[in-house]
Structure 1
């Protein structure tokens, strides 16, 4: 299937990570031009190299999302190189594992800035161009915790859920301009983040990482963790011209992990 992405410009946040890197590479293979953002310059360079090896164009942006003042500078650089952003992949890093009670307000403020305010501010910066051109895709990656809160991930559960409400509201405002806004949430996808969370759980519970991983796998109907490419395939479809009637949705890529309807 031709996804209709040839010549489109995509900005992928968290492009140095497992999910972001897979998304960037998949979009590049479909002909999109990539602006790659990440705080980790080494991981960013690796992602850019993969995109270029696949025949794509990549602009590397070492970007601290919590720095709202940097948004204008980076978006202007993208516009100078490729033109306006057509596809925005809002994919941020996750906060540390914590219970809900007793957290320092400064922790909540820090991650609200980096995970929520930054996403909203960046979207507001690129959205006028999308609306003027009559085409755009805003895809925000969250977590299965927005449907079924994950124990000891209180900050993530709460802050990512706020993005779901924001995205759904935005979807109703921009659809008539040819722009869609959707949420994609991963289940247990085999990334460094999931390995880290498994390690932290193993320490808390006095178990081996293998035991924790086996217990998690047992709860997934397909019987395994997902691959980043499987997640990226869904995101690429939502970014495509073929997905023009998918708007305001929350799409699960979890192998059936979440038990609720």
Structure 2
């Protein structure tokens, strides 16, 4: 299937590892020019060796000056057609014990600065009457995950923003969607399993086995499986999909 995005330009956030890296690689394989952004610029340069259509970009979402500097460069170079919003996961913790400063810092990095970045890049998409905005959140926005209060709360704000924006720009040929990963086997999932093991006194593999047992397909997802769905949503073929939340969780969320 020709996805019709060869020659398009994409900004992929959080692309140094995990889901962001897999998405950037998947888009690049379709002939998209990818600006792969993250705090760890060197890590992107390492995995992107030999990939002429992947360009590492230094961008720390928690620093507004870096966000604006990156956007300034992209706009001067012609903007982008596809934005993949993918912020790092906040530390685990309960809602009861999370302090105000933690909420504010993570809302700024995971939501406010991300909204600002998209707002600045939108006008060029509207001029071209074509664009794709895809935000990676978490299954926790539908079924809150214990001990991930900040992630559950802040990512839910991204969902509300996405649905609102989708309705505003649909007539401009721009789609806006949210993709919700379940337990995709990345370093982030390994870190969360490790934190759970430390908190409960169990072995890490025991924690992982219990987690896998809650997933109907019986395993963690592969980053490439997730990235392929995101790449389809970024494609010409998905032009009629907007304002949607797409689960990629092996059936883990219990509701319909």
Question: TM-score w.r.t. structure 1 length?
Answer: 0.96
Q: How does 1:34-183 map to 2 (within 5 A)?
A: 34-49=34-49, 52-53=50-51, 56-81=52-77, 83-183=78-178
Equivalent residue, structure 1, for 2:233: 238
Q: What is the aligned counterpart of 2:206 among 197, 207, 211?
A: 211
1:70 positional shift: 2.5
Q: 1:154 & 1:79 partners in 2: Cα distance?
A: 35
Aligned residue for 2:48, secondary structure, equals helix
Q: Structure 2, unaligned stretches of length 5 or more? A: none
Q: 2:117 & 2:22 partners in 1: Cα distance?
A: 21
1:12 positional shift: 0.2
Aligned residue for 2:64, secondary structure, equals coil
Number of paired residues? 256
**1:32 and 2:28 matched:** no
Q: 1:120 & 1:244 partners in 2: Cα distance?
A: 22
Q: Report if the CA contact (8 A) 1:16-1:46 is conserved.
A: no
**1:193 and 2:222 matched:** no
Equivalent residue, structure 2, for 1:257: 252
Question: TM-score w.r.t. structure 2 length?
Answer: 0.97
Judge which range, 205-214 or 100-109, deviates more.
Answer: 100-109
Q: Structure 1, unaligned stretches of length 5 or more? A: none
Q: Report if the CA contact (8 A) 1:220-1:255 is conserved.
A: yes
Judge which range, 60-69 or 175-184, deviates more.
Answer: 60-69
1:66 positional shift: 1.4
Q: Report if the CA contact (8 A) 2:82-2:234 is conserved.
A: yes
Q: 1:39 & 1:232 partners in 2: Cα distance?
A: 20
Q: 2:72 & 2:102 partners in 1: Cα distance?
A: 31
Aligned residue for 1:121, secondary structure, equals helix
